[in-house]
Every structure is written in structure tokens, then in C-alpha cells.
Amino acid sequence: MPAAASLRTKRRATFNDLGLTRAEFAVLRRLSSPEKIQSYLLKMPQNFELDGDSCATVRMVLRDNRAHCIEGALVAAAALWVHGEPPLLFDLRAVNDSDHVVALFRRNGHWGCISKTNGPDLRWRDPIYRTLRELALSYMHEYSNRRDYKSLREYSVPYDLRRADPVDWLTGEEGAWRIAEKLDEIRHFPIVTKPQIRLLVRRDPFERDVAMLTQYQRPKIGKKKKKGAAGGTLGR
């Protein structure tokens, strides 16, 4: 496999670049558009971290056929790179709540994102946003914590996974924890000011009921809440 430094300028990832098996690479080859990637992730069962904290690499996700947000974002980024688009992650940082990580893409100069989530709110965004702040703001109203407060506070610069060692997010068996830590370290920008935070209205009972809907039902065993790196649960 080429050294990580030599991958930083590669527009399209090849079989040898990623270090995946032929079967693993074939899955990514089939995901030839953001829409196909999103559909694939929606059909993949949710990772409820029943065995403990999880931040799986692409290989681990493909093998176990389950993912939560950052794990789905890694798969999406890898598929985008295979098809000639940069593998970019975008971190949405919340207060008293989980962060949410998505994979970015652009169409006609506008941003969209691919998202793996189990609820109805923090999902796919169409490529209609002129700036990353606009994209982040599209999550503001629905991003609420268990006390019904709107909790989204910051968004990150894009993190280009070509800067990382492929073992850290593609093929390693120890998880992608270094990527989670890096997302916590990169520059973030505030979405709202302190005076604006005081104006935010809590979600109403109907909104709360809608937010409690899930695509995949959590198994009745192993209900302990798990904590991850990067400031919160990684399994939003």
C-alpha cells in the first residue's frame, strides 16, 4: 500500500490504496453516487454498541453489517473517494448531547451530506447549501437533547481522510478512535451566539414524540448507555 503521505493528493482511491479485500472494495465500487451510498446505509442495521464503546473502521462495518453515525460516515467517505470525490467528514458538536458526524459531498458548488442515524431528524441533506454553516443550520431545529433543549452549538471544518493513515479508518481492527479524536481537535465554529441561545425554544410534546421514532428497534438486552471519544456517545 502506498504511504499515507502519497495518498493525500490522490483524486480517486484504487484497490491498492485502501488495502481492502476484493470483496470489500467491490461493495464500495457499487456505491457509485451519494444517493446509492445513503440508501445502502439506511438499509444497514443500527449499531447499538451492545458490546461496548464502538468506533468501527470501514472493514469492521462491512464485516459486521451495522453502523452508527461516525461509522456510516467513514463508509460513505470511502465510497466517495473510490468514485473520485474527496473523503470529507463533518462534525456537528452539541452541548449535553451526542455529536453527529456526516460525510460531505458537493454538487454544482453546493454542499450536501450523507448521514447514518436511527431517528427521523439528523438524516441526509440534499446538495442545496451554499456554505457549511447553512448546512449545519439545517440541523439546528431538530437537534435536541433528552431534556428537549436545542443542543447543536458548533460545526467543524471538513476533515479530509486522505490526511489519515488508512489503517486508522479503513482496515484496522482496533477501531477508528484516532479519527474520532481528530474530529474533536480540528477547528469548530459557533452556530449561535450566547444571546441567541437564550432565545431558543424547547421542543413541544408532539416534536418529542416524533423524535422518539426510530428506524431500528433497540434490542431489549444490554440497555446501558455507552460513551465514546469525541465528547459524547458516538452512536446517535
Per-residue pLDDT tens over the stretch 169-212: 999 999 999 999 999 999 999 999 999 999 999 999 999 999 99
Inter-CA distances, 58 with 96, 129, 145, 232, Å = 28, 28, 28, 21
User: Would you say residue 139 lies in a domain?
Assistant: yes
Element (H, E) at 206: helix 205-211
Say what the pLDDT of residue 11 is.
Answer: 87
Check if the beta carbon of residue 221 is closer than 8 Å to that of residue 48.
no
Q: Where are the alpha helices (DSSP H) in 8-64?
A: 15-18, 22-30, 34-43, 58-64
pLDDT for the residue numbered 2: 53
pTM of the complete model: 0.92
Closest alpha carbon to 104 in 122, 138, 127: 127
Question: Is residue 230 in a domain?
Answer: no
Could you tell me if residue 221 is inside a domain?
no
Q: Could you say which DSSP state residue 163 is in?
A: G
**Is there a domain that residue 222 lies in?**
no
Which parts of the chain sit beneath pLDDT 50?
Answer: 1, 222-234
Q: What is the CATH number of the domain that holds 166?
A: 3.10.620
Residues whose CB is less than 8 angstroms from the CB of residue 226 and which lie 6 or more positions away in sequence, other chains included:
49, 52, 53, 54, 233, 235
Residue 62: domain span: 4-211
- Cα(83)–Cα(33) distance, integer angstroms: 8
- Contact yes or no for 79/70 (Cβ under 8 A): no
Domain contains 133: yes
* pLDDT score, position 225: 44
Residue 34: inside a domain: yes
pLDDT for res 236: 65
**15 within a domain of the structure (yes/no):** yes
Q: State the total domains in the chain.
A: 1
Evaluate whether residue 153 is within a structural domain.
Answer: yes
Q: Provide the pLDDT for residue 158.
A: 98
Cell of 93: 458538536
Place of cell 502519497: 6
